[in-house]
Amino acid sequence: MESLSAILVRLAPYILSIAAFLILLEQINYLKKKRSVAGPNLVLPFVGNAISLVRNPTEFWDLQSAMAKSSGSGFSVNYIIGRFIVFIQSTELSHKVFANVRPDAFHLVGHPFGKKLFGEHNLIYMMGQEHKDLRRRIAPNFTPKALSTYTELQQHTILKHLKSWMDSPNSGTRSFPLRLLCRDMNLETSQNVFVGPYLSGESRKRFEVDYNFFNVGLMKLPIDLPGFAFRNARLAVSRLVETLAVCAEDSKTKMKSGDEPTCLVDFWMQDAIREITAAEDAGEKQPPPHTSGVEIGGHLFDFLFASQDASTSSLLWAVTLLDSHPEVLDRVRAEVSGIWSPESDELITADQLREMRYTEAVAREVIRYRAPATMVPHIAGEDFPLTDTYTVPKGTIVFPSVYESSFQGFVEPDRFDPDRFMEDRQEDRVYKRNYLAFGAGPHQCVGQRYAINHLVLFIAMFTSLFDFKRERSDGCDEISYVPTICPRDDCKVVVSLRCRRFPCLS
């Protein structure tokens, strides 16, 4: 009887021929889609340029940008794990993608492998009337009254964490990186603002562990097998949604009793209860869509994903840029001190927050200069004519770069200049089409006012409470993807107390 090794030797030429044929087909298919567009002419079989993307994302996307610019077309192409991709550098082409999110054009995915992570039915993937209806239901969560409630929660959490930084053995003399500290602060802020008192101590600890699994998996290859980070992330998302669903149901019970809202899910449930009651009064047997705990848990997770890492990125760049622009820092401190003092033992009110016009201009410029979520991935649901000469093939992952748009149109766009957003220049209006950090079109970020408020509050408190100095090293301010962008050294600073004491809040 012929041995297995002998059979393999005999079949080896055929196996190699089949493999070579498949590789050839893959290259031909890639070149057919690429046509004359800027991009690599040859790609590694099956994995494409995934290795270089994972190894050094900054270098990978810089190369895509350089190819798009040099070609004059405003976009370039590549190939990653069997998927053809298009990187869009041009603002006008990015708007074309954002404006055509519909079943027969582009589908927002939020992450190249997002559907595997988040599931099929999340807000990110909705289109048409269903998406409009859900955004209408979300709107009451971001009224001035709701935002005012959140600012109190935000400040209590920010102050708690800033105090812990000051209590660290390293404060005052030794530098320490802020990235993980800011991430933890933002995670607790999101928990407090979104679900407030409904997340118990044990659930909160498990929540943090699961969110870390999710964060790690975002940057890994989509290998959905036991022991791999992507599988851990996918399972963690399911547990996180379940936890948030319980919070939503607890809130619904509390709001039915007529209590005042104390967090985002309360405002949401207060409105949902009115809608449910109206449906019951009309004799409808089924509750309105998007009012169940599980559905709302999924949408709350969408909010968490959208705000968590992006906010962390902006806080780090705010510290980095204020340190390297002392004249801006001086103006921020002068404005804040004329409105609020840490020693007043009072929180910043919503009215005082609106008075901090220059500090808000700084926040907006931080977001423009270092757009945290640099790209917004979409998938082409059908062939789509991107330009007169090029049609994006169905199934392509398209990456409109909001980061690249931030450096187009504005006056001296490579310069960090908060004055561009002040009343006399109003570049946020003049170059509105280039300010895409919060997206555009039907999926534009519904919580952008909340995000701006959070950054302004952090800047006001951090600069009032602390003197700080970055620990400079070669390349420390270069961009690193984690998965949003942050300084390569994770923003190492030395901090010391600037005021006499921390606020004493009841």
CB-side exposure of 118: number of CA atoms within 13 Å? 28
Torsion over CA: 176, 448, 60, 218 (sign): positive
* Strand ranges for 223-280 from DSSP E: none
3-class DSSP assignment, residue 281: helix
Helical axes 357-369 vs 448-465, angle rounded to 10°: 110
3-class DSSP assignment, residue 372: coil
3-class DSSP assignment, residue 111: coil
Vertex 74 angle, CA 385 and 92, to 5°: 70
Distance set, CA 374 to CA 23, 51, 61, 312 (Å): 32, 20, 10, 14
Residue 338 identity (one-letter amino acid): G
DSSP letter (8 states) at residue 93: H
DSSP letter (8 states) at residue 220: S
What is the rounded CA–CA span in Å between residue 322 and residue 495?
14
Given a contact cutoff of 8 angstroms between Cβ atoms, the answer to whether 316 and 420 are in contact is no
Given a contact cutoff of 8 angstroms between Cβ atoms, the answer to whether 484 and 313 are in contact is yes
Tell me whether the omega of the peptide bond preceding residue 483 falls within 30 degrees of 0, making it cis: yes
How is residue 378 written in tokens?
């979409």
What is the rounded CA–CA span in Å between residue 95 and residue 293?
35
How is residue 222 written in tokens?
């989509």
Helix then strand count (H, E) for the chain reads 18, 12
Given a contact cutoff of 8 angstroms between Cβ atoms, the answer to whether 90 and 97 are in contact is no
Length of the chain: 506
> What's the alpha-carbon Rg for the chain, to the nearest Å?
25
247 in a known ligand binding site: no
Positions at the binding site for heme: 445
Positions at the binding site: 445
